[in-house]
């Protein structure tokens, strides 16, 4: 009798690979530099549209000379000369460099400044700021990491600012009706006295002429 042999097929369990959480986390944690750049561009475009930003020096641009502005000036490039504004705000970006003396109302520095800074209202030095010069402002904010090589004066700037505010708020009072009438009477009396002096002089001259005749 022959022996029949039956071979059982080998079975292998195949498992579908499951996606790991690491792959998703990696995609989520990837830095989005382009998103930040777009965000800054949108913010800048909004400032320009609403009239808050009156000037912009872009990265890779160099301007030399006297710079005056009204609302807000942002510098991400290189500015050489002088920067002045009676009521404006100066913003220097991380890549910005200003080789100039600065006289503005407010300033926010995140880049490099080689020169003196006078901010009549407020001065802020960010963590990436490098200032090689003297600063003067009644209000000063310095973040950790900022570098300042120079002197700092706050009391003098605060006194000057308070004097300017007081002078701007002072309004000369209008004279009361009584003061106005007294002033008018004094002026009229002065005119009358001058007329009497003139008449007396004429009378004296006539008397002298008569005596001579």
Domain chopping of the chain, boundaries: 43-169
Pick from 141, 139, 140, 61: nearest CA to 96:
61
pLDDT digit string (tens) for 193-207? 665 665 555 555 555
Q: What is the pLDDT of residue 104?
A: 95
pLDDT at 202: 56
pLDDT tens profile 107-152: 999 999 999 999 999 999 999 999 999 999 999 999 999 999 999 9
The pLDDT assigned to 55 comes to 85
pLDDT at 123: 96
Helix H or strand E encompassing 182: helix 177-212
Mean pLDDT to the nearest integer, 71-97: 94
User: Tokens at residue 204, please?
Assistant: 């004296």
Instruction: Tell me the range of 46-55, 68-77, 185-194 where mean pLDDT is highest.
Output: 68-77
Pairing of β 140-142 and β 117-125:
parallel
- DSSP helix/strand/coil, 89: strand
Lowest mean pLDDT among 24-38, 66-80, 122-136, 146-160: 24-38
Mean pLDDT for the chain? Answer: 74
Is the pLDDT at 27 greater than 50? The verdict is no
Q: What share of the chain is helix, strand, coil (3-state, %, to 5)?
A: 35, 30, 35
């Amino acid at each position: 009798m022959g022996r029949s042999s039956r071979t059982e097929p080998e079975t292998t369990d195949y498992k579908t690979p499951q996606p790991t959480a690491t792959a998703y986390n990696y995609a989520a944690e990837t830095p989005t530099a382009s998103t930040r750049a777009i965000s800054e561009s949108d913010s800048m475009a909004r400032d320009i549209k609403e009239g808050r930003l009156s000037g912009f020096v872009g990265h890779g641009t160099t301007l030399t000379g006297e710079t005056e502005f009204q609302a807000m000036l942002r510098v991400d490039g290189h500015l050489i000369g002088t920067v002045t504004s009676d009521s404006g705000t100066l913003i220097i970006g991380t890549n910005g460099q200003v080789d100039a003396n600065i006289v503005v109302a407010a300033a926010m520095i995140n880049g490099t400044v080689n020169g003196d800074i006078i901010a009549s209202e407020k001065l802020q030095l960010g963590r990436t700021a490098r200032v090689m010069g003297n600063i003067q402002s009644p209000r000063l904010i310095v973040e950790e990491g900022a570098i300042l090589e120079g002197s700092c004066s706050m009391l003098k700037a605060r006194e000057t600012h308070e004097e300017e505010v007081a002078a701007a708020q002072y309004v000369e009072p209008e004279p009361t009706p009584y003061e106005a009438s007294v002033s008018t009477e004094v002026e009229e009396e002065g005119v009358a006295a001058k007329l009497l002096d003139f008449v007396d002089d004429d009378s004296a001259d006539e008397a002298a002429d008569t005596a001579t005749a």
